[in-house]
Amino acid sequence: MQPIAQLEGRFNEIDGRYVIVVGRFNHHVVDSLVEGAVDALVRHGVDDANIDILHVPGAWELPLAVKRALTRIQPDAIIALGAVIRGGTPHFEHVAGQCNAALNRLQLDFDTPIANGVLTVNSIEQAIERAGTKAGNKGFEAAMAAMEMVSLLRQLGGNEGFEDDAADHGGVA
């Protein structure tokens, strides 16, 4: 019986261009996410010169900035960072929901990994826990996911020629 082929991203071939897009809202938390993401990239060998950091007001603005970065910078991966903290109105649902849905759509449409480091939490305490304290640093984790996906997709090769099929079926490539 043939062995089942298994592929996974590696961290010894992470050279490439990375763009970190940051929603500044709740910056006291988000700043730690940025530190974690940069730490992960640099400690795994990504050159500082290959890391761009773009700042927008909040999570709502992340998708547009990510889309423009994808077209103008054409990075190997994007790391989206932010902290959406539930308040006293339904606004949280809209900001968090639309941001995440748009980012996921963009990564499929542009065939480029967009790692999700956007916290969507119920309290400031939960945010702090996930920005470098007892629940890890979601910025670091998002950067790791970005590097892993860059490596895996390189192993798989491009999807040239498949986009048309997807377009014909109204799907994403």
Ligand X SMILES: CC(=O)[C@@H](O)COP(=O)(O)O
Ligand Y SMILES: Nc1c(NC[C@H](O)[C@H](O)[C@H](O)CO)[nH]c(=O)[nH]c1=O
Residues carrying an active site annotation? 91
DSSP 50-106: GEEEEEESSGGGHHHHHHHHHHHT--SEEEEEEEEE--SSTHHHHHHHHHHHHHHHH
- For residue 116, say whether it is annotated as part of any ligand binding site: yes
On whether the CB atoms of residues 45 and 13 are closer than 8 A, the answer is: no
Residue 66 within binding range of ligand Y, rule CB under 6 A:
no
- For residue 88, say whether it is annotated as part of any ligand binding site: yes
- For residue 45, say whether it is annotated as part of any ligand binding site: no
Please tell me whether residue 120 adopts helix, strand or coil conformation.
strand
Rg (CA), the chain: 17
Residue 121 within binding range of ligand Y, rule CB under 6 A:
no
Which residue in the set 19, 33, 70, 84 belongs to the binding site for ligand Y (CB under 6 A)? 84
Minimum CB distance to ligand X smaller for 41 or for 127: 127
What whole-number distance in Å separates Cα of residue 109 and Cα of residue 73?
16
Q: State the binding partner of 23 from ligand Y, ligand X, none, CB within 5 to 8 A by kind.
A: ligand Y
Residue 59 within binding range of ligand Y, rule CB under 6 A:
yes
DSSP 115-135: EEEEEEESSHHHHHHTEEETT
Q: State the binding partner of 89 from ligand X, ligand Y, none, CB within 5 to 8 A by kind.
A: ligand X
On whether the CB atoms of residues 100 and 46 are closer than 8 A, the answer is: no
- For residue 100, say whether it is annotated as part of any ligand binding site: no
* DSSP 8-state secondary structure symbol assigned to residue 118: E
Least distance CB 1 / ligand X (angstroms): 52
Q: State the binding partner of 11 from ligand X, ligand Y, none, CB within 5 to 8 A by kind.
A: none
Least distance CB 93 / ligand X (angstroms): 8
# residues contacting ligand Y (CB under 6 A): 13
- For residue 61, say whether it is annotated as part of any ligand binding site: yes
Minimum CB distance to ligand Y smaller for 82 or for 132: 82
Q: What is the binding site for ligand Y (CB under 6 A)? A: 23, 25-26, 57-61, 82-85, 95
